[in-house]
Structure 1
Amino acid sequence: MKNNNLRKSGLAIAMAAAIGVSTGASAAVELYNQDGTSFSVDGYFNAFYVNRDDKQNDVRDTRIKMGFLPNTIGFNFSREMGDLTLGGRSSFWTTINDALGADAGTATDTQIDVRQFYATVDGDFGQVLIGKDFGLYARSNIFLDEILMGFGSPGLAGGVSFGNIRAGYSYPTPSAQITYRSPDMSGLKVAAGVLDPADTVTGANDENSAPRFESEVTYNANLNDVALTGWVNGRYQSAENGTATVDSTGIGYGIKASMAGLTLAASGFTSKGDNPVLIGNGAVTEDDADGFLVQGSYAFGANRVVLSYGETDAEILNLETESTTIGFFHDVNSNFKLVAEYNMYEDNNRTTGATTTEADTIALGAIVMF
């Protein structure tokens, strides 16, 4: 039976990439598989002991938080209908840190959001996805991050950390979309979609006369025992309110090479009229932003060591950032992982050069997944 649910799951791709295995092997628990119909469930749970030295404010803070990937449960279905395979996924992402901390009011106000809720139609032509999923722009930049299952740079007080978001890539914000993905053409895959546009202008006469356009091309090859992955992705949209027009563009790119336990990766982006943290509603200018991320990792036995460094230079936010992470990952077994990380993060006012954030973070975590 054809089962493309794992290939369609953003979380599954991310987790498989992070642990260096093929996305053709699923950790999901299959609950039903009969007469061409299957249904499965997958889950991801984590918690980190986090100790942060905020040098800017001379404060040391200790928290129990989740990592860069929130806790998640996902449901997948697939059904063969003649020459087509119909499928779908819904996933629910939750923080274990209530609201924005004890000061937010309701002590048990845990946030839950739906980042994936879509159906798919697969056939010899490829795949069409309809619904809500991660965007294509910056998609591989984040999903192929070597510290994806770690902690990374500081984030919001009550939410996830930011990993390398704003320090090497932006977040491929989940959006309503209609996306086409080609079949695998000897390692080459092409995806293109129309997405619900972000409201990048404000006023009484906001107008988005066209959707947001995003695409990604990926290529995988094995050359003399060196596994290579390369990608290019992009986005474009235009919005106006009668007095102002904002054209938003972005290009992301990267390459990753692995051989005998050693992995080297480099990625980057350049954008205009785009928030380099996440794509969302809110007025922006057509100022520029760019960034890069370089990483190396070495796997030996059940262990993996990672060194990561990223920067973002954002004229649009008047911000310059840099983030350095040293990480150690240990697989207790295929469903249980331990993580130790040390991150050094700094951001500065681009105009004055004044340091606005300087923090060193120690994160010790455990991950259970199925």
Structure 2
Amino acid sequence: MNNKKLLVLAIAAGVTAQANAAVELYNEDGTTFSADGYFNAFYVNRDDNIADVRQSRVKMGFLPNTIGFNFSKEMGDLTLGGRSSFWTSINDSLDSPTDTSIDVRQFYATVDGSFGQVLIGKDFGLYSRNNIFLDEILMGFGSPGAPGGVSFGNIRTGYAYPTPTAQITYRSPDMGGLNIAAGILDPASTAGSDAYEEAPRFESEITYNMDLNGVALTAWVNGRYQTSKSDTTDTEVNSSAVGYGLKASVAGLTLAASGFNSDGDPPVLITNQAAALPEDNADGFLVQGAYQLGSNKLVLSYGETDSDIGDFETENTSIGLFHDINSNFKLVAEYNMFEQTTKSTGADAADADTIALGAIVMF
């Protein structure tokens, strides 16, 4: 699969619709089965200042259209569970008529008990997880994406994508607001197509939630580490990354700041590489403010990424208005300004202003 197609399929990220009120299909004798869905479409009008053209589209937002199924069964002191979710594009039919790309970002089982939870299967990674899941424009549009897929939100303009990967992950029980997750994930070949990895990729995330005199605070730090080697070229690539953030909410006002720093780790998404990656640095940050007044929420967002490994610098500014018709129906209006330059030459690679008007239905 070429990198462009991979990016189209993989870049759609975000909180799944299981966060909404799923429809319960079965609940008897300690066994439950439910379904959830997320559907959206945006009218998009983009002014491309590099090509000097204006383009109109009807596209998905940052989150693709999704349907998920959830299962749980009480077995003595344990609760066994599972989730599968299917993510689909609505923007590929003009390239492949009647065809629709469907991929699976989650297909896992869980075992819960007094010890916490163990997850086995495919799920989003832990590194950068809260950075993206707590993004205030998650249900918006954000920066431009691949023509046949979703937009990129703030991926590559403030955080990397927590690529869904096969994993075995442990999550602690809640310890007075402190939650710890750590796992081993299928490693990526970052030292070339013939690379091998003696150890899995290690990822972890620590989250702390607290209420400080009426101010709801969420703080987090996450990380990733792996080593990839090639006998053919005698190359070893050590990849490491750390993400972090803080979010505070009081009386309808939310302020958030997050960032990351990585070495030898792609600042967009991690994949197998045909050639060895350099152990270069990348870093970025995202700052946001949001104010909720009744059924309306206004969001201001600004993010940057500076990447030696990708040879680019980006910045992205979004202004979004979210209006809740009811708990299952949302309208979105967003104005986005995205710029990208090539670090080695200083040349402008992208300069686009986007108006996005969308509707979201979820259950």
Same fold? TM cut 0.5: yes
- Paired residue total: 348
**Structure 2: which amino acid aligns with 1:56?**
I
Aligned to 1:151: 141
**Structure 2: which amino acid aligns with 1:90?**
S
The equivalences for 1:158-197 within 5 A come to: 158-197=148-187
Aligned to 1:273: 264
The equivalences for 1:144-293 within 5 A come to: 144-204=134-194, 206-242=195-231, 243-282=234-273, 283=275, 284-293=277-286
- Cα displacement (A) at 1:140: 0.1
Pair 1:287–1:129, CA change in 2 (3 A): same
- Cα displacement (A) at 1:279: 1.0
Among 27, 42, 50, the residue aligned to 1:56: 50
Q: Distance in 1 between matches of 2:118 and 2:259?
A: 28
Whether the aligned pair in 2 keeps the contact of 1:152 and 1:343 (CA below 8 Å) is: yes
Match of 2:350, SS? Answer: strand
The equivalences for 1:335-354 within 5 A come to: 335-354=328-347
Q: Distance in 1 between matches of 2:322 and 2:90?
A: 22
Pair 1:77–1:346, CA change in 2 (3 A): same
Matched, 1:308 2:297: no
Pair 1:142–1:15, CA change in 2 (3 A): farther
Unaligned residue ranges in structure 2 (runs of 5+): 1-12
Match of 2:191, SS? Answer: coil
The equivalences for 1:85-164 within 5 A come to: 85-98=79-92, 102=94, 104=95, 106-164=96-154
TM-score (normalizing by structure 1): 0.92
- Cα displacement (A) at 1:14: 5.8
Unaligned residue ranges in structure 1 (runs of 5+): 1-10, 17-22
Pair 1:118–1:45, CA change in 2 (3 A): same
RMSD: 1.4
- Cα displacement (A) at 1:143: 0.1
TM-score (normalizing by structure 2): 0.94
- Cα displacement (A) at 1:108: 2.0
- Cα displacement (A) at 1:15: 6.2
Whether the aligned pair in 2 keeps the contact of 1:14 and 1:144 (CA below 8 Å) is: no
- Give the % identical residues: 72
Whether the aligned pair in 2 keeps the contact of 1:239 and 1:245 (CA below 8 Å) is: yes
Whether the aligned pair in 1 keeps the contact of 2:14 and 2:133 (CA below 8 Å) is: no
Q: Distance in 2 between matches of 1:14 and 1:217?
A: 20
User: Which stretches of structure 1, 4 residues or more, deviate above 4 A after TM superposition?
Assistant: 11-16
Aligned to 1:84: 78
Q: Distance in 2 between matches of 1:119 and 1:81?
A: 14
Q: Distance in 2 between matches of 1:75 and 1:126?
A: 22
**Structure 2: which amino acid aligns with 1:356?**
A
